[in-house]
Amino acid sequence: MSHDVLVFVHVVLFVYWLGPDWGVWVTSHYIAKPGLPIDERRRFLAAMLKIDLLPRSCLILLLPVGLQLAADLGLSPVTGAALIAVWAFSLCWLVVSWLVYLRKGPLAGELLRRIDNGLRTIVAPVMIAAGGYSLATGQWFGSGWLGLKVMVFGVIVALGLVLRQFVSLWVTGFQKLAVEGPTAEIDGMFASALERSKPVVIVFWSASALMAFLGVVKPF
């Protein structure tokens, strides 16, 4: 029964990760809309960040829940104390992610963002390497589909870091808007960042669909 409940939680996390992510994408187009007043852009930015809190939280929780499910099935080397450590790490990461949103000042917010990005910089290569090693050697994870799923999860975390680089360009755009007001150059900065992010977003969603396929079909 506890395993079935965890499967349900895993599915719910996946749904609430991908669903609101579409809302983030749609909202981002209004932030980059040429000629839109800065106050309107800020409202859409605030809405985007609030919506993004849900998929961001779900992505973090998918890590311990997924490894817990794999351990219950005897398919993961991460068990016992190591699994407890993953849960503790993920919950601390979740707290940091929420504090980034609830930050109480620019300096504190910047420090927390660096910590959050640093944790993602650790998680992404570890998951890619672990999944890749499992696929190449047949060790660690008990099935090929699970090794690939772990690797794809790491890729998704890495893609999230790439997308954050485009958002950082918007931060510069807002700073210029506040000083110079709307200009064609600033509008172009917003539009360019959005356009360049599109291929990354497509790969991100495709990788997410692959993760779902691997988890449900278990093809190999």
96: pLDDT confidence band, cut at 50, 70 and 90? very high
**Chain segment 38-86, per-residue pLDDT in tens:** 888 889 988 988 999 999 999 999 999 999 999 999 999 999 999 999 9
Distances in whole angstroms, Cα of residue 33 to Cα of each of 40, 48, 49, 171: 10, 14, 17, 15
pLDDT of residue 104: 57
2: pLDDT confidence band, cut at 50, 70 and 90? confident
**Chain segment 176-217, per-residue pLDDT in tens:** 877 877 788 888 888 888 999 999 999 999 999 999 999 999
The three-point CA angle 51-53-57 to 5° equals 135
Return the percentage of the chain with pLDDT > 90, whole number. Answer: 65
- Can you give the residue ranges of every domain in the chain? 2-217
pLDDT of residue 210: 96
107: pLDDT confidence band, cut at 50, 70 and 90? low
SS3 at position 142: coil
